[in-house]
Amino acid sequence: MAVLPIRITGDPVLHSRAQEVEEIDESLFTLVHDMEDTMSAAPGVGLAAPQVGVPLRLFVYNWRDEEGVLHRGTAINPQLLISPPPVGVPDPDDESEGCLSIPGERFPLLRSRTALLRAVELDGKPYELLVNGWLARIFQHEFDHLDGILYADRLDDAHARAAQRTVRRRKWGVPGQSWLPGRDHLED
């Protein structure tokens, strides 16, 4: 398989709603395996198809929890139901997240603690997962990508301004920028 370039914020594919997957075919198998290789090389715990320039409603995830249990899969045409997010200020130690499309940055963000994911796996079988904690955060983050939302779009005012300064400083925020995991080293 192959490691694909990851689009950086500002690319139109990241800021538009992705299209439903119409058919699970050989090209989709190849895309999913390439996305898994890309996520591993980055490294990341989730990757949505728009992040590699493909406007389809699809994401992959691969995360090991505190007990050592591996949570890995593909979500095709997902639906996500979430509990109401908590009210308050996010904890910068426990509630910060990053994004491969805003590489090297992390900001605190409140997310719902529980999520119900309904999707189709690569074998064509539908499934449903009720998850809590960090996996719920991963699902919300990746699902947002499918609707053209980056986590920086959800930050409170102070952190949103810091994220915008970073984007300006790095000269991101324009179409056509990407980085290749394993090859590109992004510096401040």
Instruction: List residues bridging with 61 in a β-sheet.
Output: 46, 73
Q: Select from 55, 63, 6, 31 the least CA-distant residue to 179.
A: 6
Query: Which one, of 74, 105, 103, lies nearest residue 181 by Cα?
Result: 103
- Per DSSP, 115 falls in state E
> Could you tell me the end-to-end alpha-carbon distance of the chain, in angstroms, rounded to an integer?
30
| 145 is an annotated ligand-binding site residue | yes
Structure tokens at 15: 């800021």
CB-CB contact of 83 with 46 (8 Å): no
Buried b / exposed e over 10-33, threshold 16 CB at 10 Å, is: bbebbeeebeebeebeeebeebbe
33 belongs to an annotated ligand binding site: no
3-state helix, strand, coil in the chain (%, to 5): 30, 30, 40
The one catalytic residue in 26, 121, 142, 187 is 142
Residue 22 annotated to the active site: no
Binding site for Fe cation: what residues are annotated?
Answer: 99, 141, 145
Catalytic residues: 142
Binding site: what residues are annotated?
Answer: 99, 141, 145
